[in-house]
A and B are shown apart, each in its own frame.
Chain A
Amino acid sequence: MSDTATGWTRRRFLATTAGAALAPAFGPELARAAAESIHTRPIPATGERIPAVGMGTWITFNVGGDTELRRHRKRILEEFFARGGGMIDSSPMYGSSEEVVGWCLDRMDNTDGLVSATKVWTRGMADGEQQMARSRELWGLDTFDVMQVHNLVDWRTHLKTLRAHKDQGKVRYIGVTTSHGSRHDELEGIMRNEPLDFVQFTYNVVDRWAEDRLLPLAHERGIAVIVNRPYKRKALFHRYQSEPLPDWAAAEAGATNWAEFFLKFIISHPAVTCAIPATSQIPHMQENMGALTGPLPDQPTRQKMARYVAEL
């Protein structure tokens, strides 16, 4: 598994440098984070590297027009970027989330590290075109980094459009998504037969069925993997937060809290490109982004982590 800071884009380098410059204002924790290499992963299609932890926006950024709630989400994004975050994933299905992300980005001084990812979630070519144009408008972007077909809805139609958009420079990478373990056979067929840059599905320390076929297939086919529901929504915290971390977690898995434990389990899989936990709380964002630094578990430790959780 390649895991270095080499190959960063100029904007990423500048973003991190800016983060280090601002570090005194954010305290020693951020200073340490900014000084250390963060875990990045290459997108197989191009070799471009992105941070291995991004963020989702399901529920957490769907705050409608409330200005105070929007300001708080802006602070979440500032924390995300300051700690080396890159990918923000959203969808037209998430209510006002895309609009709120765009509102926040428009008011931020530095969004250089952004890897913008959203989805098309409708039927028909014309409606898909219209929806993607609306997404560009809401985010305030001319080009999306990643455009995905949401939950395989009318994927045959949209993949044609996405390929055309890629040729036209409206999108840099294309992909498809599923969630909560549904329609895996169909997804596998698409991964085998269609040229994709990205695929998104659910994978976490207790939902590990993707290890059998999807993750090896993505690795084999050179498809980047975005992992959604890394905490099985909040279920992993509800179940395990009252339990102690194993005493070997920090030394062997590089995890000092449960968020790092769960995320490092995911991003240490060699086929995973990026995990996208969602949060509306700054302390939780800080914990999430903690997984971008420090040691990662090796394969025997990953097995040990899964066993530990299963036996609790």
Chain B
Amino acid sequence: MMLPYTIEVFFAAMGRYNAQYAVLVALLAALSLSAFVLAVRGTRGAWQDRAVGSVLAAGALMSGWAHQWGLMAGLNFMAGVYAPVWIAQAIVLAGTLALRPQISFFAGPRGAARTGGLILAGLGVLGHPLALLALGTAPASLPLAGSAPDPTAILTAGLLAAARGPRWLRLVLLLVPLAWGGVAATSAYLLAFPLDYAVGAAALMALALILLDDRRR
């Protein structure tokens, strides 16, 4: 099995994508960073939880609609399958985190799940692009949280692990990041680009953190 494009073509396409949606990409990256900061400080009140949830939903929507459908479908026919999954994730995130928040990002007692989850989320917002920069990726071609699936999946997985709320709901919301982690790990192997394994590893760590989370709900 092979992907129908090379890593060189992917980053060339990312450069065009970032240029085409420059304002949205910058806005969603800034909002993703803000959501991460809010979660680190601990949300205060439902509107802040709604804000974090809305950012995650917007990131999923952008990943499905613009990135997969608009950009990648021209390079990889499988993107036509991934796109609606991301859009469905956006709808579910909007329903459960933004419209009627059932998960909270308030600080509460510290624990492995919260600490580990926030570290993962930080990797999604900052660590992933910085690692790409260190590997020589042009800044204009960086996939960023809020507009590209890999960092968006890491951010979402981390915040779900750090959040408080029904375990079953957090696991349901983790399904798409987990599935995307599988896609990314496959890409890592096929494109010989090991950094993409990090997406799968982050999603699995988030799964473990949620399953082992012993905080009172």
Contact = CB atoms under 8 A, between A and B. Distances in A.
Interface string A95-135: 11100000000000000000000000000000000000000
A59 interface: yes
A233 B74 CA distance: 22
Interface stretch (B6-14, B29-37, B82-90): B6-14
Given A62-B5, A94-B4, 16 more contacts: A58-B4, A59-B2, A59-B3, A59-B5, A64-B13, A64-B16, A64-B74, A65-B74, A66-B12, A68-B12, A69-B8, A69-B12, A95-B4, A95-B5, A95-B76, A95-B77
B28 to A, nearest CB: 22
A63 interface: yes
Interface of B: 2-6, 8-9, 12-13, 15-16, 74-77
DSSP majority for the A interface? loop
Contacts of A64: 5, 9, 12-13, 16, 74-75
A93 interface: yes
A93 B3 CA distance: 11
A66 B4 contact: no
Nearest to A92: B77
A62 B4 contact: yes
Contact of B9 (A58, A63, A233): A63
Interface residues of A, number: 16
A59 B192 CA distance: 14
Given A95-B4, A233-B2, A63 B12 contact: yes
A113 B12 CA distance: 31
Interface of A: 58-59, 62-66, 68-69, 93-97, 233, 280
Contacts of B15: 66
B74 A96 contact: yes
Contact of A59 (B6, B16, B77): B6
Contacts of B74: 64-65, 95-96
A15 B6 CA distance: 32
22 contacts: A59-B3, A59-B5, A59-B6, A62-B9, A62-B75, A63-B5, A63-B12, A64-B12, A64-B16, A65-B13, A66-B9, A66-B12, A69-B8, A69-B9, A69-B12, A93-B77, A95-B5, A95-B75, A95-B76, A96-B74, A97-B4, A233-B2
A155 to B, nearest CB: 19
A173 to B, nearest CB: 25
A95 B3 CA distance: 10
